[in-house]
């Protein structure tokens, strides 16, 4: 059995940890993007605008819907996204 330098072993372990983290992050983003792309285009646009800082008030003006309806729409779209993510995760297991 070979004896490896402990610094070398630590470096390899650190690199492996980084690779695993990068692969996990990539897989999570792919799952998220796939779930997001399953939303209807207008729902995805609404959600993305909200994430970019648009308030329900400004979205109400843009969509010509009452603010309470925009809020309800956002809640429904977030639930749908959550369900899509869960579905994606079940499919991949």
Rounded Cα–Cα distance for residues 44 and 46 (Å): 5
Give CA–CA dist 81/39, Å, rounded. 7
Give the global pTM: 0.72
The answer to whether the Cα torsion of 36, 39, 44, 50 is positive or negative is: negative
Please report the pLDDT score of residue 2 as a whole number: 64
Which domains are seen in the chain, by residue range? 6-92 (1.10.10.10)
Tell me the C-alpha distance between 93 and 88, whole Å: 9
Distance CA 19, CA 71 (A): 40
Per-residue pLDDT of the chain (93 residues; tens, 9 = 90+): 566 678 888 888 888 888 888 998 898 999 999 999 999 999 999 999 999 999 999 999 999 999 999 999 999 999 999 999 999 888 665
Place of tokens 């399953």: 38
pLDDT at position 3, please? 66
């Amino acid at each position: 059995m070979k004896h490896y330098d402990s610094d070398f072993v630590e470096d390899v372990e650190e690199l492996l940890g980084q690779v695993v983290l990068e692969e996990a992050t990539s897989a999570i983003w792919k799952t998220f993007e796939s779930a997001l792309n399953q939303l209807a285009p207008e729902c995805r646009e609404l959600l993305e605008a909200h994430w970019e800082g648009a308030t329900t008030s400004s979205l109400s003006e843009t969509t010509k819907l009452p603010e309470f309806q925009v809020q309800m729409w956002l809640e429904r779209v977030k639930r749908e996204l959550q369900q899509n993510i869960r579905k994606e995760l079940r499919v991949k297991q």
